[in-house]
């Protein structure tokens, strides 16, 4: 087609490491026409990022080897260009927006310096000269495009001084500085809270439209794709397995893998939603929290005096019964993890009383028996498991401390592995030999080793791919039934919580703004923040979209305004 | 930034005070009566007692400490038993030579190790990397005095350009009276012959002294560079078309230099310790020969003086590094809660 701005033809790339060669891209063909929004979707390791790097020219060769194929940008083959010619296209022809808004910045330079460098060196390449003032004017104009104001202060800030949403806006601004024609976005906004993510996606959409850009959007999130793409490519193991227009993909996905991806997205509304009930009808209040507050002192100045308090948790009341799966939902900084840490006795509370299993927390927190009552599974098994220890060693640590003999430990370890559906032979493996899902199973097994009654799950699935997420959730359901557990489930993923928790509390700035049965909260949210939150969740069908609570733009910004930094 | 520096200076003062008290206490615990040592084995008990009275050794401990600290505040370190001159004068006489040696060593360390480390990181796993790896290994495992002796042997038989002892050819008529550092003063006064001579004298002892640090700092620079190269923003900068040299030197090296600079600051302590040995081997007229002699003679006032001066060196070097880190990485000072 003549009108293709980008045309990747039959791209084959392999990586060679320590003499081993593995193929990562197999005959990938992707095209983007002018003004079109195209999405590339796939799980981690499917080859999306390699494709992106090959297009923008940051693929390290070696270890990567481009075996065959062409990447045509405006009908010239990028792979055949000289380094100098290729560099001319960078930023001014094709530009990128990276994923993590903090890591994508140089931490030691001000925003102004970073943006100015981009303009400066592009000018050098093209051969025009502009002064500092002219460059600054361009930067200010671009920042206006991404709806940022208060320029002077912003420009003189360092990246850590800005909020996540602002950083993502500045990143988009950076990519626009040299008037690119094609934008490649690598999961922008996924590291942000849903409410912020929605704003960013809306902004990106309007920019593409107003500036007449083309967009190649790389993501693993189907809900986001629905809002961001005209056409979709589905990628699996380095191959494009399906491509179609957005409507067709969502209406009748053809490839097995696409169908599986669709099914793994937890539904937010409709008949597919699972309502979880607590089969234990007893109202025993195994955990009861009243008036819990926690504040952290902020120290500043010459003598490190306490100048103010950061109120992380403000008079929270909770009652959790045996057999509940109690969801604590909220965005980052809302205080949900602080509550979990207080329950585990890792932080002391500033005020308030907590009763767990009919005893005050302070009375039992020092006792060994308390560790047999409540345990935690962390978000990222990659860092919560000691990578220098085998699975068996990891699992035996808590056992040793509670006086198991070596014989008993061995039996218990194999029992635990069977419990989480891992073969006993895995006990000799190290964490890096396991997949993400398997690692999380080991982490769950470790938490269960002392037979606790309560398990705190701190975003146990958010580091995992959707397909694996489902299997871990099923495992958690089974274990709960088998062992009669009570869960406290901390997450920001509301669609997942809709299908997993029987009760939910929505946290907003350290307070619980709404709590109750999950079903009721979702069908009839009362607090404006809950409404804004639910309406920001990307969903995968129009039907669900229509069932979301309606929040006007003004209402939304009124309630969210207070959460922003600077 | 101002709060940041003020905080650093206050800490520095406290460290120095602690050091002064500690070394004083140690000097009082060391066995042997200073008065007896000063007078020699032939003195009578009467004479020793009088000497004790004169040196203030019979005063209560805290009075002694107070007198010592107030003296210190006025720059009075007492008298050396060995030379019978004020310790402060002895030290100030020997200090410039040592200072010059240490400064030149650090200069060598920075100019050799950081570029080599960057090179090793950029050409990772190539022959360049392997070569620097060997160099740094040799540097780290060879003790300074062994290297000093080897260099001296080589210089005596192979490279006669490098003299093996002293700081300057005594035949040259030169008075370093501006900064008291010969290398710098000769440049100021435009005496190139003196500069070349001083350079040839200082080169070997500096290499012997710098070797271990060069090896360490090189490896640390390499791994820090590699770590920084994995950050997303490096990829972003390349994708925006920022030239490779800017990415490597202005972006990556700036962030990566935090680790090697911190190490250089700490290295300073061992540098002063090693300087004692190396100065001795090369007959460098610095503080070392003075230090060694006073230690052997249990000349406590002088020992305290030498230790304190080394401590001041160390503390100031680290203040300098801290300020540098604050400039390089804004997160250092932002975290301290100071203003921008």
Give which of B233, B226, B250, B246 is closest to A58, Cα–Cα: B233
| Per-residue pLDDT at B334 | 66
Q: How confident is the model at residue A2 (pLDDT cuts 50, 70, 90)?
A: low
DSSP string, B248-283: IIIIIIHHHTHHHHHHHHHHHHHHHHHHHHHHHHTT
Q: In the prediction, which pLDDT does A562 show?
A: 55
pLDDT reading at A566 higher than 60: no
Let me know whether A58 and A158 are in one domain: yes
Q: Compare B55 and A396 and report the one with higher pLDDT.
A: A396
Where does residue A360 rank: exposed (0-12), middle (13-18), buried (19+ CB within 10 A)?
A: exposed
* Least confident range of A251-265, A316-330, B158-172, B186-200: B158-172
- Reported confidence tier of residue B222, pLDDT bands at 50, 70, 90: very high
Query: How does DSSP classify residue B250?
Result: I
**What does the pLDDT average to over B299-308?**
83
Q: What is the pLDDT of residues A402-431, one digit of tens each?
A: 888 888 898 899 999 999 989 988 888 898
Same-domain pairing of A86 and A169: yes
Confidence band, pLDDT 50/70/90 cuts, at residue A565:
very low
Contact state of B255 with A158 under an 8 Å Cβ cutoff: no
Cross-chain Cβ contact A57/B3 below 8 Å = no
A328 and A249 within one domain: no
Q: What domains does chain B contain, in order, with CATH numbers?
A: 12-73 (no CATH), 96-300 (1.10.3720.10)
Structure tokens at A64: 């990567």
Q: Give the nearest chain A residue to B335 (CA atoms).
A: A300
Least confident of A129-138, A225-234, B31-40, B262-271: B31-40
A306/A208: higher pLDDT: A208
ipTM of the modeled complex = 0.74
Q: Which of B232, B240, B328 faces A90 most closely, judged by CB atoms?
A: B240
> Is the per-residue pLDDT at A243 higher than 60?
yes
pLDDT tens digits, A112-154: 888 888 888 888 877 788 888 888 888 888 888 888 877 888 8
Instruction: Examine the fold and report which residue of A264, A298, A331 is the final residue of a domain before the chain moves on.
Output: A264
Cα-Cα end-to-end distance for chain B: 6
| Domain CATH number, residue A257 | 3.40.50.300
> In this complex, is the C-beta atom of B335 within 8 Å of any C-beta atom belonging to chain A?
no
Q: For residue A445, what pLDDT is reported?
A: 92
Q: Residue A280 domain-assigned?
A: no
Contact A454, A287 (CB under 8 A): yes
Q: Do A238 and A126 lie in a common domain?
A: yes
Pair A224, A343 in one domain: no
Q: What is the DSSP string of A352-379?
A: EEEEETTEEHHHHTTSHHHHTTEEEE-S
Q: Is A86 in CB contact (< 8 Å) with chain B?
A: no
- In the prediction, which pLDDT does B338 show? 41
Residues A67 and A20: their CA atoms lie apart, in Å, by 15
Flag whether pLDDT at B139 surpasses 90.
no
Instruction: Please work out, in degrees rounded to the nearest 5, the angle formed at the alpha carbon of residue A195 by the alpha carbons of A190 and A196.
Output: 60
Please indicate whether, in this complex, the C-beta atoms of B334 and A158 are within 8 angstroms of each other.
yes
A234 and A338 fall within a common domain: no
A564, pLDDT greater than 90: no
Number of domains within chain A:
2
Provide mean pLDDT across the span A226-233.
88
Residue of B nearest to A157 (CA): B340
Tens of pLDDT, residues A43-101:
877 888 888 888 888 887 777 888 888 888 888 888 888 777 778 788 778 888 887 77
Question: What span, in angstroms and rounded, lies between the C-alpha atoms of B203 and B170?
Answer: 17
Q: Minimal CA–CA distance to A217: which of A188, A175, A239, A253?
A: A188
**Across A381-387, average pLDDT:** 85
Tell me which residue in B232, B240, B243 faces A100 most closely, judged by beta carbons: B232
pLDDT value, residue A302: 66
Residue A450 lies in a domain: yes
Range of the domain at A214: 4-264
Q: Which residue of B has its CA nearest to A56?
A: B239
Mean pLDDT score of chain B: 83
Residues in B 240-259 with any Cβ partner in A closer than 8 A: 240-243, 246, 251, 254-255
Least-confidence region, from A245-254, A441-450, A451-460, B289-298: B289-298
Say yes or no: A511 and A378 in one domain. Answer: yes
User: Among A244, A264, A284, which residue terminates a domain?
Assistant: A264
Name the average pLDDT for chain A: 84
Instruction: Tell me, yes or no, whether A95 and A195 share the same domain.
Output: yes
Least CB–CB distance from B241: residue in A103, A125, A171: A125
CB A544 within 8 A of CB A269: yes
Question: Would you say residue A292 lies in a domain?
Answer: no
Instruction: Say which DSSP state A79 is in.
Output: G
Test the A interface: residue of B236, B242, B245 with most A CBs within 10 Å: B236
| Residue contact A99–B239, C-beta within 8 A | no
User: Could you tell me the pTM of the whole model?
Assistant: 0.77
CA A274 – CA A446 distance, rounded (Å): 28
Within 176-235 of A, beta carbons closer than 8 Å to B belong to 177-178
Q: Do A299 and B240 touch (CB under 8 A)?
A: no
Residues A299, B337: C-beta atoms closer than 8 Å? yes
Interface test with chain A among B226, B240, B324, by most A beta carbons within 10 Å: B240
Residues A288 and A277: their CA atoms lie apart, in Å, by: 20
Q: Which residues 7-36 in chain B show a CB within 8 A of chain A?
A: 7
Asked if residue A236 and residue A104 are part of one domain, the reply reads yes
**A308 pLDDT above the threshold of 90:** no
Considering only CA atoms, which of B245, B254, B257 is closest in space to residue B114? B257
| Domain contains A287 | no
Q: Which residue, A238, A264, A290, sits at the end of a domain? A: A264
Give the number of C-alpha atoms closer than 13 A to the C-alpha of residue A266, restricted to the C-beta side.
Answer: 22
pLDDT value of position A505:
92
């Amino acid at each position: 087609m003549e009108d293709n701005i980008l045309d990747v033809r039959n791209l084959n790339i392999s990586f060679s490491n320590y003499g081993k060669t593995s193929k990562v891209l197999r005959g990938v063909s992707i095209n983007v026409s002018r003004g079109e929004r195209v999405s590339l979707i796939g799980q981690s390791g499917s080859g999306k990022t390699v494709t992106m790097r090959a297009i923008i020219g940051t693929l390290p060769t070696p270890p990567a080897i481009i075996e065959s194929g062409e990447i045509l940008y405006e009908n010239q083959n990028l792979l055949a260009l000289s380094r100098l010619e290729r560099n001319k296209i960078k930023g001014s022809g094709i530009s990128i927006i990276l994923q993590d808004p903090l890591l994508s910045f140089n931490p030691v330079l001000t925003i102004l310096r970073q943006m100015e460098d981009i303009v400066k060196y592009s000018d050098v390449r093209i051969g025009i000269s502009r002064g500092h003032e002219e460059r600054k004017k361009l930067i200010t104009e671009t920042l206006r495009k991404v709806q940022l104001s208060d320029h002077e202060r912003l420009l003189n800030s360092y990246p850590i001084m800005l909020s996540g949403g602002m950083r993502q806006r500045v990143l988009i601004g950076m990519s626009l500085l040299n008037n690119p024609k094609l934008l490649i976005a690598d999961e922008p906004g996924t590291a942000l809270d849903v409410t912020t993510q929605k704003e960013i996606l809306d902004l990106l959409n309007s920019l593409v439209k107003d500036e007449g850009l083309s967009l190649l959007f790389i993501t693993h999130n189907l809900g986001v794709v629905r809002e961001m793409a005209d056409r979709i490519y589905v990628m699996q193991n380095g191959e494009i397995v399906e491509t179609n227009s957005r409507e067709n993909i969502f209406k009748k996905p053809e490839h097995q893998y696409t169908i599986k991806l669709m099914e793994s997205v937890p539904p937010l509304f409709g008949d597919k939603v699972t309502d979880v009930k607590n089969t234990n009808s007893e109202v025993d209040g195994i955990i009861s929290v009243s008036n819990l507050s926690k504040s952290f002192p902020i120290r500043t100045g010459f003598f490190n005096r306490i100048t103010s308090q950061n109120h992380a948790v403000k008079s929270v009341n909770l009652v959790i019964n045996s057999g509940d799966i109690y969801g604590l939902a909220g965005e980052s900084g809302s205080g949900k993890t602080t509550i979990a840490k207080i329950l585990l006795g890792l932080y002391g509370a500033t005020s308030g009383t907590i009763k767990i299993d009919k005893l005050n927390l302070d009375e039992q927190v020092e006792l060994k028996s308390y560790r047999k009552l409540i345990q935690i599974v962390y978000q990222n098994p990659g860092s919560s498991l000691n990578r220098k220890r085998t699975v068996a060693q990891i699992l035996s640590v808590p056992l040793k401390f509670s006086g198991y003999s070596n014989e008993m430990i061995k039996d218990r370890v194999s029992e635990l592995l069977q419990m989480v559906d891992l073969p006993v032979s895995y006990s000799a493996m190290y964490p890096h030999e396991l997949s993400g899902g398997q690692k999380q199973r080991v982490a769950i097994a470790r938490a269960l080793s002392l037979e606790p009654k309560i398990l705190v799950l701190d975003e146990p699935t958010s580091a995992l791919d959707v397909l694996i997420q489902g299997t871990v959730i099923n495992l958690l359901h089974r274990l709960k039934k088998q062992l009669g557990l009570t869960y406290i489930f901390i997450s920001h993923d509301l669609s997942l919580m809709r299908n997993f928790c029987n009760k939910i509390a929505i946290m907003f700035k350290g307070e619980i703004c709404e709590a109750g049965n999950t079903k009721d909260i979702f069908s009839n949210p009362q607090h404006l923040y809950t409404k804004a939150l639910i309406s920001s969740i990307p969903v995968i069908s129009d039907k669900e979209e229509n069932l979301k609570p309606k929040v006007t733009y003004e209402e939304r910004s009124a309630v969210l305004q207070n959460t922003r930094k600077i | 930034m101002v709060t940041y520096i003020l905080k650093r200076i206050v800490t520095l003062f406290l460290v120095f005070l602690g050091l002064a008290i500690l070394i004083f206490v140690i000097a009082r615990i060391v066995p042997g009566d200073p008065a007896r040592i000063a007078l020699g084995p032939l003195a009578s008990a009467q004479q020793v007692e009088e000497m004790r009275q004169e040196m203030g050794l019979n005063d209560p401990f805290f009075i002694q400490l107070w007198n010592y600290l107030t003296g210190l505040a006025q720059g009075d370190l007492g008298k050396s038993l060995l030379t019978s001159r004020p310790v402060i004068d002895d030290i100030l006489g020997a200090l410039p030579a040592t200072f010059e040696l240490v400064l030149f060593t650090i200069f060598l360390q920075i100019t050799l190790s950081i570029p080599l480390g960057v090179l090793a990181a950029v050409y990772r796993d190539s022959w360049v990397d392997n070569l620097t790896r060997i160099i740094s290994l040799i540097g780290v495992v060879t003790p300074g005095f062994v290297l000093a002796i080897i260099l001296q042997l080589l210089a005596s038989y192979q490279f006669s350009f490098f003299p093996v002892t002293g700081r300057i050819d005594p035949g040259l008529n030169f008075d370093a009276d501006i900064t008291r550092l010969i290398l710098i003063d000769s440049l100021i006064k435009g005496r190139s012959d003196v500069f070349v001579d001083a350079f040839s004298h200082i080169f070997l002892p500096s290499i012997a002294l710098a070797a271990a640090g060069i090896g360490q700092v090189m490896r640390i620079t390499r791994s820090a560079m590699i770590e920084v190269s994995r950050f997303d923003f490096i990829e972003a900068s390349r994708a925006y078309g920022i030239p490779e040299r800017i990415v490597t030197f202005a972006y990556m090296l700036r962030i990566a230099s935090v680790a090697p600079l911190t190490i250089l600051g700490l290295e300073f302590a061992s540098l002063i310790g090693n300087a004692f040995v190396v100065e001795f081997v090369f007959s460098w007229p610095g503080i070392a020969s003075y230090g060694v002699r006073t230690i052997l003679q249990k000349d406590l006032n002088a020992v305290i003086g030498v230790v304190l001066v080394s401590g001041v060196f160390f503390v100031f070097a680290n203040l300098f590094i801290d300020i540098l880190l604050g400039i390089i990485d804004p997160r250092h000072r932002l975290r301290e809660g100071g203003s921008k």
